[in-house]
Structure 1
Amino acid sequence: MREDAECIQVFTPEMIDTMARIWTRASISLMDVRHQLIRPGQPLQNYRMPSSMLVYAYGGSANVQLNQTLFGMERFGVFHGGKGTTLSISPEGETLGSFMVLYKAEAPPFFRRDLQRLLEQVNPFVQLYGLVPGNPVGLVNIYQQMLESWNQATAMNHLFAKNLFYQSIHEIYRDLERSEARFLQPDPALSAKRYLDKHYMRPIMFQELADLFSISSGQLTRLFKKREGKSLQEYAIQKRLEDARRHLKYTNATVKEIAIGCGFADEVNFFRMFKKHFRMTPIDYRKISTLSMQECIIDNGSQRIYNEIGLAGLVKSQRDGELTMFGQKRSKQMLLATAMSLMLLLSACASNMPANNGAASNTAPAQTQQGQSTPGIETKETESTSSQTRIVHTVKGEVEIPSNPRRIIADTYMGSLIALGIAPIGTPTKFLKNPFYPELLKSVEDIGEQKSISFEKVVELQPDVIITGDEKAYESYQKIAPTILIPYGELKTDQEEISYLGEVLGLEAEAAAWMTDYETRRSSMKKRVESAVGANATFSIIEDWGEKSVAVFGDNFGRGGQAVYRLLQLKPPAEREAEIMEQQMLQLSWETLADYVGDYIVLTSDRLTLQDLQADPIWSSLDAVKNDRVYIWSSIHGWYFDPLSTLAQAEELTNWLTSK
Structure 2
Amino acid sequence: MQLEDQLHLWYQAAVKIMDVRHVKMTSGESLRAYRLPSNAFIFALQGGASIALDDRDYAVQKFHLLHGGKGSYLDIKLTEDIFEYYLVLYKASIPLPTMRDKLKYIDKSNPFYMQYSFLPRLPMLLYQILEQLEREWNSASKLAKLHAKTLLYSFIYELMQQLQDQNVTMVPGEPVTQAIRFMHEHYAESITLERLAEVLECSPRQVTRMFKNQTSVSPIDYLIRYRMEKAKKLLLDTDATLQQIAAGVGYQDVYFFSRTFKKHTGIAPVHFKENHQTSLHSLYNPFRMSISSIALRKREGHTIHEDNNHSQYRSEGVLPMYRSSKPSIALVLLLSLTLFVTACASSSSPAGDKGQAPASTSSSTEQAASERVLKDALGHEVKVPANPQRVIASYLEDHLVALGVKPVAQWSINKGTTSVQNYLQKDLNGIPTIPFDLPFEAVMSFKPDLIIMDSAETVAGDKYDQYSKIAPTYTVGGEKNNDWRQELLTIGEVLNKSKEAKQALETYDNKAKDAKEKLQKAIGTQKAAALWVTAKAVYVVSEKLSSGDVLYKDLGLNVPSIVQEASKTGTANWLPLSMEKLATLDADYLFIVNSKGVSKEEILKDPVWAGIPAVKKGQVYDFDNNSSWLYSGTIANSQMIDDVLKSVVK
Say whether the fold is shared (TM-score over 0.5).
no
Per the shorter chain, which TM-score range?
0.3 to 0.5
| TM-score w.r.t. length of structure 2 | 0.44
| TM-score w.r.t. length of structure 1 | 0.44
